[in-house]
Amino acid sequence: MKKVIVVGAGVAGMSAGIYALQSGFDVTIFEQHSLPGGNCTSWKRKGYLFEGALHWLTGSSKDSSLYQVWRNVGAIKDATNIYIKDIFYTYYHNGQAIHLYCDPDRLERHFLEISPEDAKEIKLLCKDVRCFMKVSVPVLDVKGVKVRHKNKMGMSMLLGLLPILPKMSAYDKMSVLEYSQRFQHPGIRALLLNVVGANLKASSLFFTLGCVASGDGGYLEGGSLVMTQNMSKRFIELGGKIEYSSHVEKVIVEDDKASGVIVKGQRVDADAVIIAIDTLTAAEKLFERPLNETWIEKMRKDIKFMACTFIGIGVETDLSSLPQGLVFPVERPFTFAGETFYTFSLNNYAHYKDYAPKGCSALTTCLMGDTYAFWKGKKESGEYEMEKEKLAKLIISLVEQNIPQASGKIAVVDVATPLTYERYCGTKHGSWMTLQEKGDKSMTYPSVSDTVKQLYFAGQRLQTPGGLPVAVDTGRKAVQYLCRDIDTIFQGKMNEAVN
């Protein structure tokens, strides 16, 4: 049995750990924090649980190939309730609620009622959402690996992809902002801008709308925290070890082979190392000499960091009569850290059990933008806490303006900045996905080192735009490369329900 060390117990690290155990390796994960999950986490403040990552999970539908992966790694169990939203977001336009229904037929009827003058574009939007519904993230095997369960891209999936290729290419070339301007109704424009962000490729908007329309964009009961705790339990049940509070300082490279790591000043030997932290951070910090990999150099040049300032809000009133995704216009656009916001959006967790004390509600909002430099500057000038307080006050006033029943009842405001994410997960710029703006090519980077043997990579950074599906899939892929290199059969269970 070969000894494998995994660096990081995020979703990618635990996926790699589980697949490596199944393929017969002896696995230890070193995690710097005291919990598993990394960016995929939630936290409690004064009785309020703030969902920090999972908004929709690609692969939560039984019909998708990724579902089997989530089952195998224990993220989804038989008993897991998967909530599918009817309405993705609701925008309040001059007091009128405009709903972004997930079902394209319902969406078409609703939008046509609201804005008959946009009929042509509404019909096209819904037609294209129906096309993108057929797309499912494929789970593929790496070339040359021997696998116990062959995992091919089905013919029906390939055929399903054909009609969207020309649409994808057209939507890749425009931003969501440009696409939204096809609509005359300002409410419809604002709703579309809020799904994935205004600067992203319009194709990201269609992938997301297609995903939720097909029922494959559910929210798992208990959210990020329960999901990643389930994964860590599965890893341990399979015989793996997780060492918490164990920051890996360096990967040991001897004779061009990864032969272990240095943790807390101690050497720990291994036959292979899988790095499941932000690849860019790893390349910069985990090696005595910088890794000389052309693909990492390319990644460094090309990556545009997706990051946010996240705010959790605890309100001492029951907001379950309000929709789960709320978007409000703002009287005057506000600028924060160099980013201008035209709307204010909230996720409302009042519909879920145990997210807040009885009769109260947990809300969250993300101010999207790579504001790392801004916050770093505030930290250096000693104004960091003051700036967080200023932001908390702005958020309180926005919540109170838009939800009058919350007025005077805001008990908690918790601000996490890109510096928080950097400290917590070690990600570059505190970024947890990669921005894909119009014209940007989709990229998949290798999971294996070109220059150091027995060294593998997993994690969100390896495939644009990243996120949980990429994290879990690259963990699996890293183990496939390892199995291929040592001529061992990859044993990942694809067709077995695991509980």
Which positions lie near ligand FAD, rule CB under 6 A?
A: 7-13, 30-33, 38-40, 52-56, 247-248, 276-278, 308, 310, 366, 425-427, 432-433, 459-460, 466-469, 471
Structure tokens at 459: 């994690």
Closest separation in Å from C-beta 475 to ligand FAD? 7
What is the C-alpha to C-alpha distance for residues 172 and 442, in angstroms, rounded to an integer? 10
Pull the structure tokens for residue 89: 């977001």
Q: What angle do CA 96, 97, 99 make, to 5 degrees?
A: 145
CA distance 279 to 492: 24
Structure token pair of residue 360 = 């109260």
Q: List all residues 6 or more positions away from 216 whose beta carbon is below 8 Å from its beta carbon.
A: 58, 59, 60, 61, 63, 64, 136
The residue written with tokens 């490279």 in the block is 253
What's the min distance (Å) between Cβ of 13 and ligand FAD?
6
Residues with Cβ < 8 Å from 83, sequence gap 6 or more? Answer: 218, 219, 220, 221, 352
For ligand FAD, the closer of residues 345 and 427 by Cβ is 427
Q: Minimum distance from CB of 41 to ligand FAD (Å)?
A: 8
Provide, rounded to whole angstroms, the least separation between the CB of residue 204 and ligand FAD. 12
CB of 267 to ligand FAD, least distance (A): 15
Measured CA distances, 243 to 33, 135, 224, 264 (Å):
9, 38, 21, 11
Task: Please choose, from the candidates 130, 146, 58, the residue with its C-alpha nearest in 3D space to the C-alpha of residue 492.
Answer: 146
Nearer to ligand FAD, 198 or 458 (CB): 458
User: Is the Cβ of residue 361 or residue 474 nearer to ligand FAD in the bound state?
Assistant: 474
Q: Which is nearer to ligand FAD, 99 or 428 (CB)?
A: 428
DSSP 8-state secondary structure symbol assigned to residue 453? B
Residue showing the smallest CB distance to ligand FAD in the complex: 10
Q: Given the complex with ligand FAD, which of 115 and 417 has the nearer CB atom?
A: 417
Nearest distance from C-beta of residue 343 to ligand FAD, angstroms: 17
- Shortest distance (Å) from residue 242 CB to ligand FAD: 10
